[in-house]
A and B are shown apart, each in its own frame.
Chain A
């Protein structure tokens, strides 16, 4: 079976961004927090994937695993040797893959807890700027502090899909897609659960939810931890898929503002809408990327910038003309009276 590469490209972009945008939707759409630092948690996941699995395997198989692991002189040799081990050992590949994802989710939850400290004190735009600043700080640290992500040269990430041989990209793509679908189901169930209803209630009226005896600080902390842990998973998956990581690719534009644009287009507070929004955006982006070459002779600039114009314009136009997105958030209806009576009668 032959799958055109462009379809795989769209599926990968869709899966990664769907996970990130869903995590953003929990925090922004349901909890009403101005999460302008999504890149922080995504980068955490990527850091885990680029610093931990390679070191574990290097330690087991007797390669340098200290500070020198991520230096550009050793890194490509060590990771190449590790990849050859992983190629012949699918069980080890899958094991290290799952272990890294678990560590990434724990690290993400920890980062979420850290961001919740200012989040329970500050409000609205102040909080947004603080979160944005935290993301920038981690980006700087991972760009200049070599032992984490190789600093300015980046690192290679061990490839847990190598055993699939020629089918590597197909296996990796469908693994990502499976994770994205699982996360979608999880987030949908979570937001329909009592916890999800508490989040919405807090978003709509903090006073009311406090009157009903809920601790707002605790709810916010929970929302941020769950969101960050999911986003961190996406970061780790992205690093595993691309096989390398460098801090400069984790900018606030690609990992904070794009997910915001996807979420606003699809419908803030509606997981199915968000899925649709990500799909539409990813397809349009791919079309721009594919056909920008054809446009090049007619314009006096590099058409690569049109992607930014498009995302920016989309954010502005949606904010002005359709703030509720393609699929607006549905109000929660109580059960019809007949059903309620039936239910009470049965008791």
Chain B
């Protein structure tokens, strides 16, 4: 049987992945951009929490809102400086994707410089961040395994309320569905797109800050996670925020626990191949059922397999 601590870690990792994937999906739905800069958004969240914990003191959980706002602001910056001008020129999705890769490289270099700065000015070892020790224990398991799912559920609830019950949320859904029609009705798509980058970036920040409690970080931690994030988003169907959250939980859990179970069966040599699991999940989804989890008719499926009558 798997140890409880491994399951707890898997839960908190999968929850943070769900939040990051939700950000990718929101940005893709609104601006048709596969945001590769999500990788460094997540890394920035790691470093903001790290720097604040070591310089200002306190607990990593205190700085979750700071990570949300800071990375959301980065998202706004990317939209205003890069994606907005490109969208106004009707750039192709490939150009949009490539330009976010460029942004990612620039941010990556800034993170490396920031890490150097922390090392030289504050004498911190900023090349390997371990914040796990700052987590407290709750009911015998790390608190992040309890708090992270709560944050995921409340994010789903908040986003649902925002999109379904507020006027701005309705405008956002209208713009996603048909930007031209929405702009005829007096909705400014630029503001909607800006908001999507703010929220999407913020979710990446929140996810990254939570992930810093379950995995160790270095300046390329986001880049090593970005494929998992895209896999979650694609498995979720790419056109549904709830689907991407579900995809994130699924990918995160199967990545973390699946490899442990497999190593028990075939031996420890398989452990380093962990990143292959999300890749296979993504490839299978794309080739077999591109609509993803959100495209499944759940009531009918449950009826068919006999769960509900």
Contacts and interface: CB of A to CB of B under 8 A. Distances in A.
Contacts of B108: 308, 312
Contact of A300 (B89, B102, B117): B117
Q: A-side binding surface: helix, strand, loop or mixed?
A: helix
Interface string A116-133: 001001101110111011
A136 B227 contact: yes
Contact of A129 (B86, B98, B113, B230): B230
A319 interface: yes
Contact of B93 (A125, A308, A319): A125
A309 B105 contact: yes
Given A34-B94, A319-B95, A302 B105 contact: no
Interface residues of B, number: 44
A133 B234 CA distance: 13
A29 to B, nearest CB: 12
Interface in A297-332: 299-302, 305-309, 311-316, 319-320, 323
Given A34-B97, A129-B282, A118 B105 contact: no
A319 B273 contact: no
Contact of A130 (B93, B275, B286): B286
B288 to A, nearest CB: 11
Nearest to A152: B272
B286 A312 contact: no
A324 to B, nearest CB: 11
Contacts of B46: none
Interface string B88-106: 0101111101110111111
Interface of B: 34, 82, 85-86, 89, 91-95, 97-99, 101-110, 112-114, 116-117, 120-121, 227, 230-231, 234, 272-273, 275-276, 279, 282-283, 286-287, 290
Given A128-B34, A299-B113, A301-B113, 10 more contacts: A34-B97, A125-B94, A126-B286, A129-B230, A133-B283, A140-B275, A257-B101, A301-B117, A313-B102, A320-B82
14 contacts: A122-B286, A125-B34, A126-B286, A137-B279, A144-B273, A260-B98, A300-B121, A301-B113, A305-B116, A315-B99, A315-B101, A319-B99, A320-B86, A323-B89
Interface of A: 34, 36, 118, 121-122, 124-126, 128-130, 132-134, 136-137, 140-141, 143-144, 253, 257, 260-261, 264, 299-302, 305-309, 311-316, 319-320, 323
